[in-house]
Structure 1
Amino acid sequence: MSIFDKQGIPRWLLQQTNTSQLDFDDALTPLLSFSLVRTEIETQALTMHRLGSILALSAVFPSGDYSTWEQCRVLLPHLKEMVGYRIEDKEGLEKQADSASKAGWYLLLIGEYTAAEGMFRLSLDTREKVLGVEHPDTLTSVSNLGSVLERQGKYEEAEAMHRRALEGYEKVLGREHPRTLTSVYHLAFLFHQKRDYSAAVGLYQRAYDGYVKVLGVEHPTAIACFRHYESALQNREA
């Protein structure tokens, strides 16, 4: 079905002469149940519903963290096809953006930075159009794009993204929200990478104080932030 036009696909075109009606219906039933196709009863034709494919794949594509890498590897070729679909349905666009964001995170973690950047840009462009420039999910795409630009040594572009994310989170979520604090942390790490240790120390301090208040002193993120703070402080004083 995928090689034909998505609408008005004649049933007889799909059903081979040596395939019984029962076998054909059995093969068609799962596609109908998952809303991947629908029947045009009056014309005895079928329509392939790309939104169903998008929703199904978005639901199963994992977070991209290490434990899910094998599953991500298997699903990635299908997701690349899916994010290339041109759709206008708001729900479908949101799921496209979400899937692209997950795929981008996976690609970033395995070191495929150029491909990750493409996924994050797609996610950002879609979320800006569908959700608006200040929606928290849009700002997450901004932050993710900043992180992959940083990994590629594109520090000026990365700083612009991290600052945009931080300003947006502060406005929408407040200065002490965990997402805001993580954005501060990302900006601090960027300055650390640039060896601007004074700027890094101040931002690490702000992020750490916020993490302790919101998450607790023993939270892994608070501990990691403090270690980065100590490293930047030692380099500044060296």
Structure 2
Amino acid sequence: MGAEHAHTLTFRKNLADAYWSAGRTDEAIEQFERILADRERVLGDDHPDTVKSRENLAHAYTNNMKAAGLYERILADRERLLGAEHPDTLRCRDNLASAYFWSGRRRDAVRMFKQILADRERLLGDEHPDTLESRRTLYHYGWGVRDT
């Protein structure tokens, strides 16, 4: 197969997930960074597996200031490749809002959570699980945060 074969890259991603689950955060991040670099080189920036690898790394950076910047790039990729209303794009906006919240940009996060909820209500309806989750998230994160 080889180091850059799709199956090998998937195995390495699974290994990074195992590191993450075991609390070996630094090793997980290192592995996610290497996988992303390999996928960018082998598949290109816009390949779905590359974008997903970028998202895996951003998730690993969740409590790190790097997460928001990476999610901003992922969101731009998702909007360009899938459109602004695609479920993966909406999920990415939600992840970016969470990254903003945890990096101290709470007002920006609450504004985004409100917009995501409005979009999901319009696109999916009031009772869709993603809409209900957005409502819960806005309540949870928006508590005590004024967005004006």
* Same fold by TM-score greater than 0.5: yes
* Higher helix residue share: 2
Structure 1 position 215, deviation (Å):
4.7
Q: Which residue in 1 is equivalent to 2:136?
A: 227
Q: Which residue in 2 is equivalent to 1:160?
A: 69
Q: Deviations over 1:178-231 (max 9, x none)?
A: 211111011111111123221001221233334345555434443232222123
Q: Which residue in 2 is equivalent to 1:114?
A: 26
Residue 147 of structure 1 pairs with residue 74 of structure 2: no
Structure 2: stretches of 5+ with no match in the other structure: none
Contact kept, 8 Å, 1:96 with 1:123, in 2: the verdict is no
Residue 180 of structure 1 pairs with residue 89 of structure 2: yes
Going from structure 1 to structure 2, the CA distance change for 1:171 and 1:110 (only over 3 Å counts) comes to same
Cα distance in 2 between the residues matched to 1:107 and 1:172 = 30
Decide which moves more: 183-192 or 107-116: 107-116
Cα distance in 2 between the residues matched to 1:146 and 1:223 = 24
Q: Which residue in 1 is equivalent to 2:48?
A: 136
Number of corresponding residues: 147
Q: Specify which of 104, 123, 130 is matched with residue 16 of structure 2.
A: 104
1:80-99 alignment, distance < 5 Å: 87=2, 93-99=5-11
Q: Specify which of 112, 115, 124 is matched with residue 203 of structure 1.
A: 112
Larger Rg: 1
CA RMSD in angstroms, aligned pairs only: 2.3
Letter in 2 for 1:173: L
1:6-17 alignment, distance < 5 Å: none
Letter in 2 for 1:160: G
Residue 123 of structure 1 pairs with residue 35 of structure 2: yes
Cα distance in 2 between the residues matched to 1:222 and 1:105 = 28
Higher relative contact order (CA 8 A, sep 6+): 2
Going from structure 1 to structure 2, the CA distance change for 1:230 and 1:168 (only over 3 Å counts) comes to same
Contact kept, 8 Å, 1:197 with 1:235, in 2: the verdict is no
Letter in 2 for 1:223: L
Structure 1 position 124, deviation (Å):
0.7
